[in-house]
Amino acid sequence: MIRLLPTIVRLFKKPALPEETIAEGFIDEANPGKLVVHRPLKSDGKSLAEAIESVRSDTIENLYVFKNGRQIMRFRGEENYVNPTESSLMRLKDAEIVHNHPFGSSFSLSDIKAIVRYDASRMILATAVFTYTVTRPMSGWKLEIELIERLYKRLEPSADHLLDQMIRAGVKTPDEKHLLYNHYIWQEIFSTFDIPYAKIEKK
């Protein structure tokens, strides 16, 4: 989940850094005085494919940002969220994003709101078993944030009902409900608005 409001880190001005270093630094307020600088990884994550595989089985959420095939930012969060600052989110326009969910579910509502609000071109979400992708249509994102929220909330009862029926029938388990819940909702929303969305099992 991408947190849209910065609550853990704040922008910190610092001296110029080497070219391979992301030109932003943050103070971790849980560790006062500690400057956290985000750099491209030395051994992995330099390409989209490498980033996907480097975070797929991680127990912590990560966010990699690519433009023109080059990694420009990366963030490491906690087990159920990653928290880039507003200034970093503003750089997501036309970017490709690699993200991961350690618990295996599809995109969160916050993830989709972030890529639409900041006009990213694609988000790839890696889990231990699946890779989910959502891609901006050629005509651009036509969904307003408020509409996304309304549609998501409207579909929640249907998702609960359908998945609970499958659990009672012995087709799915309660754990699988968590994994399938958002996937069901996004399938419904994205198919309605012709937004490319895919779920691919890891080979």
pLDDT in tens, 5-45: 443 332 222 333 333 333 333 334 344 444 444 444 444 45
Question: What whole-number distance in Å separates Cα of residue 108 and Cα of residue 54?
Answer: 21
Regarding pTM above 0.85, the answer is no
Task: Please state, in angstroms and rounded to a whole number, the distance separating the CA atoms of residues 57 and 100.
Answer: 8
CA 181 to chain centre: 16
Which residues of the chain carry a pLDDT beneath 50?
5-44
Give the model's pLDDT for residue 45. 55
CA angle 18, 54, 184 (to 5 degrees): 125
Question: Quick one: tokens of 27?
Answer: 């103070």
pLDDT at 2: 66
pLDDT of 34: 42
Residue 3 lies in a domain: no
Strand pairing category for 96-100 and 122-126: parallel
- Residue pair 23/17 in contact (Cβ under 8 Å)? The answer is yes
The owner of tokens 């994550």 is: 45
CA of 88: how far to CAs of 11, 136, 160, 203, in Å?
10, 20, 35, 33
Residue 61 lies in a domain: yes
Q: Greatest CA span in the chain, whole angstroms?
A: 61
Residue 134 lies in a domain: yes
Q: 3-state class of 46 per DSSP?
A: coil
The H-assigned helical ranges of the chain are 48-55, 86-89, 109-117, 145-168, 174-192
> Residue 1 falls within a domain, yes or no?
no
Q: How many domains, in total, are found in the chain?
A: 1
Q: What span, in angstroms and rounded, lies between the C-alpha atoms of 36 and 13?
A: 12
- In terms of residue numbers, what domain contains 58? 9-201
Give the model's pLDDT for residue 14.
30
From residue 172, give the alpha-carbon distance in Å to each of 46, 131, 166, 175.
38, 20, 5, 8
